[in-house]
Amino acid sequence: MSTVQEVVTEAPVIEDAIPKKAMALGPVASLVILALLIATPLFVKNFIIFQMTMWLIYAIAVLALNILTGASGQFSLGQSAFYALGAYTSAILMEHGDINYVLTLPVAGLICFIAGFLFGLPALRLSGIYLALATFALATAMPQLLKLGVFEHWTGGVQGLVVTKPDAPAILASLGLKVSQDMWLYYFTLAVSILIYIFSVNLLRSRSGRAMMAIRDNEIAASAMGVDVSLYKTLAFGVSAGITGVAGGLGAIAVQFVAPDGYTIQLAVALFLGMVVGGVGWLPGSLAGAAFIVFVPNIAESVSKGLSGAVFGVILILIIFLVPHGARQIAYGAQGLIGKLRRN
């Protein structure tokens, strides 16, 4: 029996390019990546540490979109709006409320969860490209809403708000560890990312996650099985927006600045891009997708300053043609190869 089961569990990996069963990485791969994420900042310059922090923050936001699109099958081009809401929540609480930056994140998450849930209610009537358009409208409206004179006292209007960068806790210094602000923020972001990743994997592997994926695959059948389609669709919107809000809050702290024009539709499109490049529905791909949107524009610029956009476009088209299922396809390909090598 056990041999039969082994063959069965291995089979889909080789037989079909993209089995969607695995939402997460195996324990070995997870530990290797975690070790790399922990060790790398010890050997690189502060600016690179800052870039890695942004990478993790975008990875959280891409993961949030992945839960919405990959798991529940709903499109969103409006993630930048929730990211902005989270960023402003953190910034306002820190600068006007003098609240510790750590505490602002759950508040940002909660507010965005509620906003996402509420936005999900009318969005229930829309699906596919029409939902994408509605969320697009949200993304275009957000920067202008942030500039409104009514909120100017809080948001700083067009000028935005400057956020104080947090120091590493004093206890580290008293232990004789010299941790720069950038490095501290990186490890703090890493810790938040790991928590969110674990919670997300738990969620998708649970009864709720299965309900969302069932809706993605067949709404009528899901409903016949007792799944409250409206509830889980709006919950998926809420969870996705909440996680995006935490990413936004972290982003505000890392960049030390929030301004309306930092959260345009371009950000939403970038997050969407990150999700596709990482592999829709594959959570670890968020890391790869975020790396793409943070680092590839720099690479494109180093190839040609004047034509960086064109170079970026060519790289993107190459990826779509060569690995249409993104990083997930590469990961599964590698896994299949390792399996073959072991057997020979």
**Which residues of the chain form contacts with other proteins (CB under 8 A)?**
4-5, 8-9, 11-12, 15-16, 19-21, 199-200, 202-203, 206-211, 213-214, 216-218, 220-229, 235, 239, 281
| Least gap, CB of 219 to other proteins (angstroms) | 10
Q: How many other CB atoms are there within 10 angstroms of residue 150's CB atom?
A: 8
| Least gap, CB of 154 to other proteins (angstroms) | 30
| Least gap, CB of 254 to other proteins (angstroms) | 25
| Least gap, CB of 206 to other proteins (angstroms) | 4
| Least gap, CB of 12 to other proteins (angstroms) | 6
Rounded-to-integer distance, Cα 261 and Cα 161, Å: 12
Q: Which is nearer to other proteins, 207 or 305 (CB)?
A: 207
Q: Which is nearer to other proteins, 155 or 200 (CB)?
A: 200
Q: Which is nearer to other proteins, 278 or 281 (CB)?
A: 281
Q: Which is nearer to other proteins, 46 or 218 (CB)?
A: 218
Q: Which is nearer to other proteins, 155 or 286 (CB)?
A: 286
Q: Which is nearer to other proteins, 4 or 150 (CB)?
A: 4
Q: Which is nearer to other proteins, 5 or 174 (CB)?
A: 5
| Least gap, CB of 24 to other proteins (angstroms) | 13
| Least gap, CB of 211 to other proteins (angstroms) | 6
Q: What would the two tokens of residue 148 be?
A: 């409104």
Q: Which is nearer to other proteins, 2 or 144 (CB)?
A: 2
| Least gap, CB of 20 to other proteins (angstroms) | 4
Map the chain to HEC letters: CHHHHHHHHHHHHHHCCCCCCCCCCCHHHHHHHHHHHHHHHHHCCHHHHHHHHHHHHHHHHHHHHHHHHHHCCCCCCCHHHHHHHHHHHHHHHHHCCCCCHHHHHHHHHHHHHHHHHHHHHHHCCCCCHHHHHHHHHHHHHHHHHHHCHHHHHHHCHHHCEECCCCCCCHHHHHCCCCCCHHHHHHHHHHHHHHHHHHHHHHHHCCHHHHHHHHHHHCHHHHHHCCCCHHHHHHHHHHHHHHHHHHHHHHHHHHHCEECHHHCCHHHHHHHHHHHHHHCCCCCCHHHHHHHHHHHHHHHHHHHCCCCHHHHHHHHHHHHHHHCCCHHHHHHHHHHHHHHHHHHC
Given a contact cutoff of 8 angstroms between Cβ atoms, the answer to whether 58 and 269 are in contact is no
